[in-house]
Structure formats: C-alpha cells, structure tokens
Amino acid sequence: MILVCAMQGDTEASAEKLAQRVAKLRMFRDEAGKTNLSIKDISGSALVVSQFTLSADTSRGNRPGFSQAAAPDIGRALYEHFASSLRAESIPVETGAFGAEMKVSLTNDGPFTIWVET
C-alpha cells in the first residue's frame, strides 16, 4: 500500500521521480532475509491511496493544519499522475477513490514503514 499526499509546489516531474524511486526501492526480503529486493524484483503490485492528511502540520496548537496540501484539483491530477507513472514502471497498480472517505485496512508485515519524499 502506498499512501500519496500531494503538497503545494509538487509537480508532475516530482510525481514521476517518486514513482521511479518507489519502483526501485529495495524494501522486500531476499532468500537471506535481507531487504535487497524491489517491488519490481518480486513482481509485486501496489494499492495507491490518496491521503492528504499526511500533510498535517501539528507544530502549533491542538488542531492539525492542512494548508500545505495541494489544492484538490491539483492533488487529484498529481495522484493520478503518480499512479500512471508507477504503471509505466511495469508495476500493476490499483487505486482508491480520490477524496473519498474510504475504509482501508493495512497490515504491516515487515520491519519498517518508509516515508519517501522528492
């Protein structure tokens, strides 16, 4: 599962760069148990879900602020461009519904969760 948040200033080029990085990131275990394999190496697939709440600014007060998130129309375009760019890396991709309140279950099965920025 890949949670994607478009921030102000993000571009199609940054979405493409992020997709390329994700496709090559060695985060899956090999036969020796070391994280040496990419999603491409394991013939994996991705569920890409928009998650603007990752932009939350909690540095002040008690209410998160989301003013650094991209505007919805830009966020949708960048989210879709990221998913398309990941498909261009030969990775099967399913997507969530942009802007929808979805119930998504995630079971972390591994040693880490990774935050990737461009």
10 Å CB burial of residue 109 (0-12, 13-18, 19+) is exposed
Taking 3-state DSSP, the helix, strand and coil percentages for the chain, each rounded to the nearest 5, stand at 30, 15, 55
**Looking at residue 49, what DSSP letter applies?**
E
Annotated active-site residue 118? The verdict is no
**4 vs 55: CA distance, rounded Å:** 10
Check 53, 66, 68, 113 and give the catalytic one.
53
- Whether residue 53 lies in the annotated active site: yes
User: Would residue 51 show up in a list of annotated catalytic residues for this protein?
Assistant: yes
State how far the Cα of 70 lies from the Cα of 72, in Å rounded to an integer.
Answer: 6
Catalytic residue among 8, 20, 35, 51: 51
Residues noted as catalytic? 51-53
